[in-house]
Amino acid sequence: MHPELDKLEKTFKPSILTKIDDPLLDEYQLELWMKRDDLLHPVISGNKWRKLKYSLEQALSLGADTLISMGGAYSNHLHALAYTGKLLGLKTQGFIRGEQPDTLTPTLLDLQNWGMELTFVSRSAYRGLRHYKGCHDLPGLKPGQYWLPEGGAQALALKGVAELVNEIAIPYDLLCVPCGTGATLAGIIDAVPKSVFVSGFAALKNAGFLKTDVEALLPRPGAPHWDINLDYHFGGFATTTPELMAFITDFEYKTNIPLEPVYTGKMMYALYDLITKHTFKPGLRLIAVHTGGLQGNRGFTA
Ligand SMILES: Cc1ncc(COP(=O)(O)O)c(C=O)c1O
């Protein structure tokens, strides 16, 4: 690995496996664990580091001096990218979805403070940017500029995600992960032992397209051991309900594990709901990946 990335990774905390102690799980004879990628780093947290690591390595080996990407006003991806760019001494630029707000969100303020150049683009222009998947694909790129697609979802992301799977040292039956672009899910599908079933939980409404997107990212398409649950979007991306927020508060109170309502909170709600509906056979060991993104909580009031 590039020495600068190696140095950075050495500052990270371990992503431990935490067993969830809850009488409800005993009642249904299930074990539930969390893979705590949220603990890796306060900013470059969760799946952000997993997805960025090998793209950053490629950027550095190509001699890039600028990282360019896209995201929303609360983007965890841009947040991690801006901070990492600052640490690595690379310039960063972000295309932000929608009009510039009168007051910048806490996330956008962080991006600005960490030196990211922000360009606000219309929603239709933003959708257009989604077509550029490869690091050289963005039209008008200058020498030294490296493009990362939305959420860092490119083939190299899968290599980093595989590392989280390889850290799991106990046998298990089901691995669960929240989905935005589906890149983290794809990395997990490709890396788990074939005896393990992988369930993605879509954070977006009408996310049927994700199945095709994930297939397209898989180096070995057609794998039978995965699915995506589309039923727990709570009305849409970043939309919440009092019930979801109450679940998150209660979960943190019981386990001391903070969640956020965009990704991991929805997945954990879904898992508990599915457990009480007898979806999982007694005796199974489930692992849920905490993908971090806790900075996004600043966009929600309790
Ligand atoms: C905290 C968090 N969890 C999960 C995801 C979903 O990851 P992916 O886009 O790889 O599906 C994201 C978005 O990248 C995220 O920020």
Is residue 153 within 6 Å of ligand 1 at its C-beta?
yes
For ligand 1, mutation pick of 291, 294, 295 (most atoms within 8 Å of CB): 291
Q: Once rounded to an integer, what is the mean pLDDT over residues 158-170?
A: 98
pLDDT tens sequence across 101-119: 999 999 999 999 999 999 9
Mean residue pLDDT of the chain comes to 96
Q: Could you tell me which residues are beta bridge partners of residue 178?
A: 201
How many angstroms does the Cα of residue 289 sit away from the middle of ligand 1? 11
Rg (C-alpha) for the chain, rounded Å, is 19
**Rounded CA gap, 236 and 72, in Å?**
14
**Rounded CA gap, 195 and 277, in Å?**
23
227: helix, coil or strand?
A: strand
Q: Is the pLDDT of residue 204 over 60?
A: yes
pLDDT tens sequence across 167-192: 999 999 999 999 999 999 999 999 99
What is the pLDDT at residue 302?
Answer: 53
Contact 34, 286 (CB under 8 A): no
Q: Which atom of ligand 1 is nearest to the CA of 75?
A: 16
Task: Indicate the pLDDT class of residue 221, thresholds 50, 70 and 90.
Answer: confident
Q: Which among 164, 142, 155, 163 is positioned nearest to 67, based on CA atoms? A: 142
Q: Which atom of ligand 1 is nearest to the CA of 260?
A: 1
How many angstroms does the Cα of residue 182 sit away from the middle of ligand 1? 8
SS3 content of the chain, % helix, strand, coil (to 5): 40, 15, 40
What sign does the CA torsion over 75, 80, 86, 89 have? negative
Q: Is the pLDDT of residue 213 over 70?
A: yes
What is the pLDDT at residue 121?
Answer: 98
Q: Which among 282, 229, 290, 274 is positioned nearest to 31, based on CA atoms? A: 282
For ligand 1, mutation pick of 181, 259, 267 (most atoms within 8 Å of CB): 181
Q: Once rounded to an integer, what is the mean pLDDT over residues 31-35?
A: 98
Q: Is the pLDDT of residue 11 over 70?
A: yes
Is residue 233 within 6 Å of ligand 1 at its C-beta?
no
Global pTM? Answer: 0.96
| Domains defined for the chain, CATH in brackets | 3-45+155-299 (3.40.50.1100), 47-152 (3.40.50.1100)
Q: Once rounded to an integer, what is the mean pLDDT over residues 139-161?
A: 96
Q: Which atom of ligand 1 is nearest to the CA of 203?
A: 6
All residues at 6 or more sequence positions from 10 whose CB lies less than 8 Å from its CB, including other chains:
none
Q: How far is CA 70 from CA 83, 137, 148, 165, 239, in A?
A: 15, 14, 8, 27, 21
163, exposed or middle or buried, with CB in 10 Å at 0-12, 13-18, 19+? middle
Q: Which atom of ligand 1 is nearest to the CA of 186?
A: 10
146: helix, coil or strand?
A: strand
Is residue 46 within 6 Å of ligand 1 at its C-beta?
yes
Name the pairing type of β-strands 17-19 and 31-36. Answer: antiparallel
Q: What are phi and psi of 177, to 5 degrees?
A: -150, 140
